[in-house]
Amino acid sequence: MRRIVAAIAALFLSTFALIGCGDTSTDSHGNHSAEVGVTAASAQAAEIVINGFEYSTPAPVMPGQTVTVRNNTDDEHSVTSDTPGLFDVIVNENEVARLTAPEEPGSYAFHCTYFSDMHGTLTVED
């Protein structure tokens, strides 16, 4: 019985993960980016996740929305806007921080000040 429950749970989780998957690509500099469509659930749970030395970015967020930054590594990282002064959050190893999305719709490139190969984009839409 436990095996059946485990199998059903695994099937449910893999199906759920596929529903939320977006198009992940690598640019000419080896940087990863992900694009996912806007959904009510993703807008409510906006989160940038750091795994290894890569960002996983949320679907577009609302202007001024709070975005959680989850660092799943043993290294300190940052989410620093390429536009100086827009947002800059330091996230200690295995901790969570928050930032406020810009008020104007648009695409906002960001990087990690500690690891120069880490780049991402936060998309803000009405």
Q: What is the mean pLDDT of residues 89-112?
A: 98
Query: Could you give the CA distance from residue 59 to residue 47 in angstroms, rounded to a whole number?
Result: 9
pTM, two decimals, is 0.66
Torsion of CA 16, 20, 68, 103, to 10 degrees: -150
Greatest CA separation for the chain: 57
- Work out the pLDDT band at 4, boundaries 50, 70, 90: very low
Tell me, what's the pLDDT at 14?
40
- Work out the pLDDT band at 32, boundaries 50, 70, 90: very low
* Sign of the dihedral defined by the CA atoms of residues 103, 106, 111, 112, in that order: positive
Q: Which domains, ranges and CATH numbers included, belong to the chain?
A: 2-124 (2.60.40.420)
- Work out the pLDDT band at 44, boundaries 50, 70, 90: low
**Structure-block tokens of residue 7:** 């199998």
